[in-house]
Amino acid sequence: MDPPGWPGVPYLEGTTVHRVPVAVDRDRRGPAGKESGGFLNPAMSGNRTRSVLMLNYLADSALEGVQRIQTIDSMCATGIRTRRWLNELPKETASRLRVRMCDMNEVALEWARSNLARDPLGHNVSLTQGDARRELLSQGWHWIDIDPYGSPMPFLDLAMQATARRAIVSMSATDTAALSGSSAGPLMRRYGARVWPDGLKHDSGLRVLLAAAATAAARHDRVITPLLSVWDSHHLRVTVLVDRSKSGANSHQESIGWRVANPSQEDVGLAISAGLLPQHDNGSRPMHAMLPLNASPSGPGVSGPLWTGVVGDAGLMKSMSEEAASLICASNNSTPNLDEERHARRAVRNIASEANAIHGAHLVVTDSLPGFLGGAGPPSPYSMAKGLRSMGFSAEVSRYGEPSFRSDAPWSTIVDLYKKGA
């Protein structure tokens, strides 16, 4: 039986027409309230677009050989994420999904149920009203999506405990003020960390979230590999591969440490000896340096404990091109909606190209360079990346939400290029 008000109004995202009780502003950005059971936040559309592309890639790589991908959409609201998986993935991939949709709100689930009834693969989805924390422990999962209001921390240990031998955990955090250091109390209370509120504060927040995931995984004899880390408007989102490994769990702290702004020469030397800066940065003083956990730095400019390793997988990131996002908008062989194609391309902008430099030690916010080095104004991140590539280094404009580039070039080379007016 359809819910009161059905069929409501249509809302298009990707190629999926989803029905909701009231009209939704497709171009709305930022957080949204949950005043009604028909909740849908269009500001998370890019998040959902990326999840379609990731599932498409990972189903045939990390989850290759899993015939039935046990998936939980743990705070599903009206269910548009699951419906986009079913409608926009290739049929052979979508048919492998066995999805459990869970939400506390029965009205939202009624709308989800009626929407799914129109989907050819809707029979592969079950709906449960209740607390997602209980559902997480009901079985082992290959794919866990956590998209709460606020922090994912109340769900993190349960999610790691509930993973299959190999699984994907993808989580959002909308407590961005805490994770970026603006609200120091909640940051320390929830994550046991601090973040220096400079140009890299959101990257530090992503790394704090990854450190929390790594630590939770280790408590359950698991180890994480970051696949994608994105700051998108009002939320942070990390996706990690989780494998069972006692030895990996034992050594997880090797990838956790500190970020120091304006490091001393001693800090730089320590970072190099720990393998957190390349040897060619010896003698320089970059804008930031990572330090190992046992360094325990003090004073201003310190962020952590946080993840000090690579924050994304190059193979996955290369698959998330703007062309691939455009194909989502033509997945039902219809003429693509140009507005939706624009939204989809924007959701993955710079991800595929940044894969070429994701291993680089330096993420540089160009607006911060004049204040750090002196100079008339900030350079173009495109010009800096192009100049560094011409010298044989990996360098790409970053997906990060500030004008920035990522590179494996020596800091001294970055400085010289900036001073030459790249």
Pairwise CA distance, residues 158 & 84, whole Å: 26
Query: Is residue 82 within 8 Å of 124, Cβ to Cβ?
Result: no
Rg of the chain (C-alpha set): 22
Angle, CA of 150, 52 and 156, to the nearest 5°: 35
Spell out where 245-287 has E strands.
256-261
Pairwise CA distance, residues 397 & 284, whole Å: 23
Q: Which residue has the tokens 């995931």?
A: 213
Q: What is the sign of the dihedral through the CA atoms of 286, 359, 156 and 131?
A: positive
Distance of CA 319 to the CA centre of its chain: 15
Count the Cβ atoms, other than its own, within 10 Å of residue 183. 16
SS3 229: strand
Buried b (16+ CB within 10 A) or exposed e, 19-41: bbbeebeeeeeebbeeeebbbbb
Look up residue 379 and give its DSSP letter.
P
Instruction: Output the pLDDT for position 346.
Output: 96
Start-to-end CA distance of the chain, whole Å, equals: 63
Instruction: Output the pLDDT for position 376.
Output: 83
Pairwise CA distance, residues 8 & 261, whole Å: 52
CA dist list (Å): 249 to 11, 21, 222, 360, 377: 44, 46, 5, 25, 45
Both structure tokens of 311: 């924050």
What's the whole-model pTM score?
A: 0.96
CA dist list (Å): 408 to 360, 364, 383, 387, 416: 4, 11, 16, 13, 15
Which residue type is seen at 150?
Answer: G
Both structure tokens of 216: 């939770």
Pairwise CA distance, residues 76 & 115, whole Å: 13
CA dist list (Å): 114 to 17, 20, 105, 246, 247: 13, 10, 15, 44, 46
Instruction: Output the pLDDT for position 333.
Output: 63
Instruction: Output the pLDDT for position 381.
Output: 98
Instruction: Output the pLDDT for position 336.
Output: 72
Instruction: Output the pLDDT for position 35.
Output: 55
Count the Cβ atoms, other than its own, within 10 Å of residue 272. 18
CA dist list (Å): 396 to 6, 46, 316, 364: 47, 21, 16, 11
Length, in residues, of the chain? 422
Q: What is the CATH number of domain 360-422?
A: 3.30.56.70
Instruction: Output the pLDDT for position 39.
Output: 75
Q: Phi and psi (nearest 5°) for 27?
A: -95, 10
pLDDT in tens, the chain (422 residues): 899 999 999 999 999 999 999 998 887 776 665 555 567 999 999 999 999 999 999 999 999 999 999 999 999 999 999 999 999 999 999 999 999 999 999 999 999 999 999 999 999 999 999 999 999 999 999 999 999 999 999 999 999 999 999 999 999 999 999 999 999 999 999 999 999 999 999 999 999 999 999 999 999 999 999 999 999 989 999 999 999 999 999 999 999 999 999 999 999 999 999 999 999 999 999 999 999 999 989 889 999 999 999 999 999 999 999 999 999 888 666 677 899 999 999 999 999 999 999 999 999 999 999 999 998 899 999 999 999 999 999 999 999 999 999 999 999 999 999 998 86
Pairwise CA distance, residues 143 & 153, whole Å: 18
Q: Where are the domains of the chain?
A: 360-422
SS3 197: coil
